[in-house]
Amino acid sequence: MSLLGRIAEKTSRLSCLRLMSVYPTHYVEPIVQKYKQLEQKNDLSKLYHVPIKAAVNKSSDTIFHDDTKHKMINYITKKGNSALARTLLSKTLELIKRTQTEHMNLAKGEKTTINTNPETLLKQAVENCRPLLQVTAIKRGGVTYQVPVPITTKRSYFLAMKWLLEAAREKERKVSLPEKLAWEILDAAHGQGRVIKRKDDLHRLCESNRAYAHYRWS
């Protein structure tokens, strides 16, 4: 093992390549969905002689596959029980559908303005909960400051989904998770609720600490 590590280090030092990567840099990503292949029919001839990476295990061509939903299932999962997480999210989306349908039936006019699609409501909730900045603890001269730092897109999506789940899990223990999560998603999709307040509190904290913004290093 030490010999292999030394050989890898020597080779990587000489050739400046990442040896641990599965694919070289000239491989292109696969186009999994068939409708995307049909959309880019004219450009497919350029890919005849270009090596293509293998498709990821979780990628799918079905219309029920969605990246946000898939990532939400991953965050709900505890102890590797993905089947339970998928069931919980299905119940959540079903509850959202039933609630919005009931609101649509109870509304006198303006029936068409109520959105009953739970997937778009989930995406809307996650978009509404994404923060713009976060605070980082930076120590200068023995004092630890909370410095506002711009956030990356992936990190903001992660924080949004984590906050939704945390807000759902810390409510009443006797109420099941799909009900709590459905209410949190509906509140966040309409721009209210505890997760929106948490994001606003983070923004206010960043604004109050704006004087320390130059302490960060990037």
Of 113, 112, 68, 111, the residue nearest 93 (C-alpha): 68
Closest approach, Cβ 163 to other proteins, in A, equals 16
State yes or no: residue 217 binds other proteins (CB under 8 A). Answer: yes
Burial code (b: 16+ CB inside 10 Å, e: under 16) for 39-76 equals eeeeeeeeeeeeeeeeeeeeeeeeeeeeebbeebbeeb
Which member of 7, 83, 107, 132 binds other proteins (CB under 8 A)? Answer: 132
State yes or no: residue 9 binds other proteins (CB under 8 A). Answer: no
Closest approach, Cβ 197 to other proteins, in A, equals 10
Query: Which tokens hold the place of 60?
Result: 């799918």
Segment near other proteins (CB under 8 A); pick from 43-51, 81-89, 98-106, 146-154: 146-154
State yes or no: residue 143 binds other proteins (CB under 8 A). Answer: no
Which x/- pattern over 52-91 shows residues binding other proteins (rule: CB under 8 A)? ----------------------------------------
By the 8 A CB rule, do 107 and 114 touch?
yes
Residues between 193 and 212 with contacts to other proteins, criterion CB under 8 A: 200, 203-204, 206-207, 210
Query: Which tokens hold the place of 166?
Result: 């945390």
By the 8 A CB rule, do 138 and 206 touch?
no
Which are the contacts of 47, defined by CB distance < 8 A and separation ≥ 6? 28
Chain residues that interact with other proteins, rule: CB under 8 A: 16, 132-133, 148, 150, 152, 200, 203-204, 206-207, 210, 213-214, 216-218
